[in-house]
Structure 1
Amino acid sequence: MAITAVLSPVVLAGEAQADVGCYGDYCSGMDPGTTRCAEDAKTIAVKELTGAILELRYSPTCKTNWARYHQYPRGWYFGGSPLALRAVQDTGYTQTYTFKLNEGAKENETYWSPMIYSPVKLVRAEVALSCGDKGILASIADCAMNGVEKTAAG
């Protein structure tokens, strides 16, 4: 008598399996939206900025991180414009989105960096801002700090 076993993948309730366009280190440098890695992403670190929000995102399916920046309506605030948005691994490996020269971020728009495959390393989100737009004293402090805002590493 022969016994035949049929094996099939098991998906537990509540666990969505995204059909993504990359996996692992092949995701590094790729867009989280076009690869569909953003579909199951979670925000794991946040830094509120004047007029904007900086987030560190993580996809459990793709095991990747990326930086995300959302520009609120500026109103009367004319602070520093973003120059570059980066996801920075604790090893120093970096993926960068560079804003168009003399354009910065548009109101109510969201921008993101390419992804970093990082299942075990810590990653932080950074945005480099132009300095000198906040008044003389604030500009001095802003430029002395290189105009870089960071999230906690996650």
Structure 2
Amino acid sequence: MVEDEDSAAVRRRSVVRVVPPLRPRKLAKVPFVELADGRLQGVVSSGSDIQRVYVSSVTAGSHGYSCSTNNNRPCGGNGLCKHLQALVAEAVGQYGVARVARYLGLDDADGSATPDDLLAQLGGGPERTPAATVFSRFLRHLSYLELPESADPIPELHWFPSTPAVR
């Protein structure tokens, strides 16, 4: 079967490129991290209570930060707490230091910055951001793990990349 130019172009635009993580992530410590909604945000496990998680975020540009439990109780740490430090470290592992620095508007001129270098550049202060949206998105991602195996399409994941059909 010969594919015309228009259908080939549509097929190329219909597939989203997936960027693999730079290194395996520590999902037990930071099970969810994303660059979305103008923030580096994610879910970080508590170091002291296995049933508690924190929703942490750093706003791009202003570098304001937030850290609270999933039900909006503020973190007990001062300033850039260990949850925010873990979030930045895992984001660098997932996306790379250059992409995280660029997204947050931080300096990585020579490409050799470390997560600690990025944290040192965050000059913003505490800001309240709603944890519910991030936590809800995390729970939604977890729900896909509970789906039974199936070759049928999942409507919510219609945007997710797939391999082309073998003919």
**In proportion to residue count, which structure has more strand?**
1
Instruction: With the length of structure 2 as denominator, give the TM-score of the two structures.
Output: 0.27
